[in-house]
Chain A
Amino acid sequence: MSAPGRLRRFAIRTGAVAAKEATHAVRDPRTLYLALGMPVVLLVIFGFGISFDVEDVPIAVVDQDRTPDSRALERSLTTGHEFVVAARPDDPAEVDRLFRERTVSAALVVPRGFAREWAAGRRAPVQLLVDGSDGVGAQSVLGNASAALRAEGRRRLAAETGGAAAPLAAEVRLLFNPALRSAVFFVPGLIAYILYIVGVLLTALTIAREQERGNLEQLFATPVGRLEVMLGKLLPYLALGLLQALLVLAFGMAVFEMPLRGSLGVLGLGTLLFLAGALAQGLFISSVAGSQQVATQAGALSSLLPGVLLSGFVFPVENMPLLLRALASVFPARYYVDLLRGVMLRGNGFDALWGDFLGLGVFCLAAVALATLGFRRRLA
């Protein structure tokens, strides 16, 4: 048989499997709606819901000094929108109870004699107590409050010198995301996370379902090869996935004002590779799982974990221990998050992002190969 003829047959068989799989997907419109609607709804909810910006944090003020000086200190915290005084206990020991009841997240304690110490030119100490059980919040609260108090200290010192300008000042400029909006940083990560999970889930059950119902034996009786089955199953979902990606990216740009500073071609190619990899990962799980229940758990765990944790979406991969960094490099989510941020925020092209393309491409090929091999083992 000639090579072109073989290729033609390959294409026809793959097409037949793809057509069957597409019919299957279209006949189940509920799953289809979920697959298309879910990513958009999730993106909107998460894009607005996940934010590290803290505002109106309830604090307690324990003012044991009760002087104009101590009140000025309190005002330095509450003039911005960062803090609101929610309690005024007399005793600092009560702060612990307020933390346990979650009434306040921080407390300012101005000890008796604060104004006297300052006037005498000595060290005038104040205490800042922060509830450390909520990590992210605690860190920003601590940072904001100490910055405000430091500024107050500087203002008072300047008043002593007769209002002279600070001898040394910083002019800080933030690049790429000047307003430090959480959304600008998170939306690319969210897009990757959502596409990854939905991609794996779409295909994770396909083969396991056929196996559970005994349809697989019927498929074995046909002349269709394993690679043809795999590609045939992959293609319709890839089309669905691309539609999903388009929707999610469009929403991300419209709702969260995400910029697209780089080229659409780079973004499209990267998205295609990422989706194919995620879908192939689902197929691999499906071909070795044996039952839909196992496939679900395995699919969920293998996409959620790398999607949230090992992708750099929230936690920088560079800070992780070596073993986890190695694990993160295996999964495609990390490369895709990096690629999205590069293309959208910094306007990077192929020259800066070739490493990500390499990672995505290798994963995609390996996943298709593994899925095909895993499928064969079940045949025997």
Chain B
Amino acid sequence: MTRAGLGAVVRKELRQIGRDRRLLPMLIFAPLVQLMVFGHAVSFDIDNVDVAVCDLDDSAASRTLARRLVADGTFQPVGPLPDCTRPEQALLDGRADVAVLFPAGLERDLAAGRPVEVQVLVDGTNPTIGRFASVAAQAFLDARAAELQRERLAGLRSAQGFERPVPTLTVQSRLFYNPRMQSAIFMVPGVAAMLLLLITTVGTAMGIARERELGTLEQVMVTPLRPAELILGKVAPFVLVGLLDVVVALVVSSWMFDVPIRGSLLVVFAGTLLYLLSTVGLGLFISTVSSSQQQAFMVGFFVMMPAILLSGFMTPVENMPDWLQPIAWVNPVRYYVEVLRGALLKAAGFRDLGLQFGALAAFGTTILAASIVRFRKRLA
């Protein structure tokens, strides 16, 4: 391989990218805009669950309960239920996410020590909100129940002349790495991985498919250039663009979204290089199995969409069923998301991320080698 040949191809490719007035902004600015939109749009925070209350008791006790239910801001009152006999209607109309019904005789039963059941209706359409709302409603009533129990127990003990006070179990929970649970902090690394894949894989695949479609690939092949030089020259500009995009993403995410950089940048960039090896390799491979740009595009999407959605950037990989786990095992996006989150949030080093680095390197070299072999075969 001659350095001059490689350099010539890289220069030609860079010039071609630079000359297309629309392509370069697409490769640099589009990801930037996406990252900003993503960072702001993506939020798992459920901060207002709309609740409608139906108070059939209308006593001091039930009104206190209703007031305390919305006191901490988890539940947002949207007014009383219009029709207490058909509480589902408010959920059906989308007026409320939760309907709470305090039964008649609540105050009397509580005073008499009879158990009281409060009905809580939750819209389960969105399981995340549904689960959150039912847990929150349950926790609220549990806490009130515990309070009453404790009062009763204390009363009982003082009546019997016991000395011992009532114990409490307290749970202190602590979230590591992201104590305020800001969605952007764990989403932005995932988004960066996704954007890199989109840009470099599609770019590489389309670039080669285009030459094939226009018939210029044959012209290049009659030059003394060797296939490996041609391939490296074709992918090198996209590796550069990818690295540039990572720098932009890091700057934007730490500046706009307070994503910390706790680990070493060396780990981040080493991981990025290995990841780019995989993404351009994938693009190259796609270009060898397609005969037009449209096909390259379709095949590319067919491969990339599962790779992105099953990478663990939105939902944990461990939640996937067993028969899908093999996809997760060979998914470079998954390992890169783990590298980014590990290095940026947890200060993980090379030793902690050994598996991820190994997997990325293995995937990258395998796919690159496979596509070079296929590329040669198709030319011959």
Interface residues in chain A, defined as those with a beta carbon under 8 Å from any beta carbon in chain B: 28, 30-31, 34-35, 38, 41-42, 45-46, 48-57, 96-97, 99-102, 117-140, 142-143, 145-147, 149-154, 156-158, 160-161, 164-178, 180-182, 184-185, 197, 201, 205, 209, 212, 289-294, 296-298, 300-301, 304-305, 309-310, 314-316, 319-321, 324, 327, 341, 345-346, 352
Whether A134 and B316, one on each chain, are in contact in the complex, defined by CB atoms closer than 8 angstroms, is yes
| In the complex, chain B residues 165-214 whose Cβ is within 8 Å of any chain A Cβ | 165-179, 181, 183, 185-187, 198-199, 202-203, 206-207, 210, 214
Q: Which of B121, B206, B346 contacts A296 (CB 8 A)?
A: B206
Q: What is the CA–CA distance of A35 and B302 in the complex, to the nearest angstrom?
A: 10
**Residue contact A133 to B173, C-beta cutoff 8 Å:** no
Contacts of A56 in B (CB 8 A): 318
Query: Does the CB pair A134–B175 fall under 8 Å?
Result: no
Say whether B124 contacts A176, CB under 8 Å: yes
A16 vs B183: C-alpha distance when bound (angstroms): 52
Residues of B within 8 Å of A52, CB to CB, are 127-128, 315, 319
Query: Would you mind naming 27 contact pairs between A and B with Cβ atoms under 8 Å apart?
Result: A28-B295, A38-B301, A51-B315, A101-B348, A119-B167, A120-B164, A122-B168, A123-B170, A128-B173, A129-B173, A129-B176, A132-B175, A133-B342, A135-B186, A138-B181, A145-B173, A153-B146, A157-B153, A160-B153, A170-B120, A170-B141, A171-B117, A175-B121, A175-B123, A293-B207, A297-B203, A319-B47
Out of A48, A154, A166, which one reaches B115, CB within 8 Å? Answer: A166
Query: What residues of chain A lie closer than 8 Å to B292, measured between beta carbons?
Result: 28
Query: Measured between C-beta atoms, what is the minimum distance from A277 to chain B in Å?
Result: 19
Interface centre among A56, A99, A341 (most CB of B within 10 A): A99
| Minimum CB–CB distance for A263 against chain B, Å | 16
Q: Which of B88, B164, B202, B298 contacts A31 (CB 8 A)?
A: B298
What is the total number of residues of chain B having a CB less than 8 Å from a CB of chain A?
A: 119
User: Would you list the 8 A-B pairs with minimal beta carbon distance, nearest first?
Assistant: A153-B169, A132-B178, A177-B124, A132-B175, A174-B124, A121-B165, A128-B173, A180-B127
Indicate if B63 sits at the interface (CB-CB under 8 A). no
Query: In this assembly, does B320 line the interface, its C-beta being within 8 Å of a C-beta of chain A?
Result: yes
Chain B: which residue is nearest A325 at the CB level? B41
Measured CB to CB, the nearest residue on chain B to A53 is B319
Q: Are A147 and B169 in contact (CB under 8 A)?
A: no
| Residues of A contacting B177 in the complex (Cβ-Cβ under 8 angstroms) | 99, 131-133
B270 at the interface (CB under 8 A from A): no
Is there contact, CB below 8 Å, between B324 and A49? yes
B138: interface (CB < 8 Å): yes
- Does any Cβ of A come within 8 Å of B369's Cβ? no
Contact A121:B164 (CB < 8 A) given known A170-B118, A173-B120, A185-B127: yes
Chain B residue contacts of A290, Cβ below 8 A: 22
Contact A146 B153 (CB under 8 A): no
- Are A167 and B179 within 8 A (Cβ)? no
Measured in the bound complex, the distance between the Cα atoms of B323 and A134 in whole Å is 23
Q: Mark B148-168, 1 if CB is under 8 A from A, else 0.
A: 111011001000000011111
Which residues of B are found within 8 Å of A320, using beta-carbon distances? Answer: 40-41, 43
The docked-state distance in angstroms from the alpha carbon of A181 to that of B367 is 37
Q: Are A175 and B124 in contact (CB under 8 A)?
A: yes
Interface string of B272-312 (1 = CB under 8 A from A): 00000000000000000000111101110110011001101
Verify B146–A154 contact, CB threshold 8 A. yes
Nearest Cβ distance between residue A17 and chain B, in whole angstroms? 18
List B residues at the A interface (Cβ < 8 Å).
Answer: 20, 22-23, 26-27, 30, 34, 37-38, 40-47, 88, 91-93, 110, 113, 115-132, 134-135, 137-142, 144-146, 148-150, 152-153, 156, 164-179, 181, 183, 185-187, 198-199, 202-203, 206-207, 210, 214, 292-295, 297-299, 301-302, 305-306, 309-310, 312, 314-316, 318-321, 323-324, 327, 338, 341-342, 345-348, 352
> Which single member of A130, A136, A149 contacts B316 (CB below 8 Å)?
A136
Question: Residues of B contacting A158 with CB < 8 Å?
Answer: 149
| Complex CA–CA separation, A46 to B304 (angstroms) | 13
- Return A292 CB to nearest CB of chain B, in Å: 4
Contact across chains for A201 and B301 when beta carbons are under 8 A apart: yes
A51 CA / B315 CA spacing, docked (Å): 6
State which of B122, B210, B297, B338 has its C-beta within 8 Å of the C-beta of A102.
B338
Q: With A167-B115, A293-B20, A315-B42 known to touch, is A305 a contact of B153 (CB < 8 Å)?
A: no
By a CB distance below 8 angstroms, the chain B residues around A152 are 169
Closest A residue by C-beta to B171: A149
Which chain B positions have C-beta within 8 A of A173?
119-122
**Which residue of chain B is the closest to A135 with respect to CB atoms?**
B186
- CB within 8 Å for A132 and B186 given contacts A185-B126, A209-B294: yes
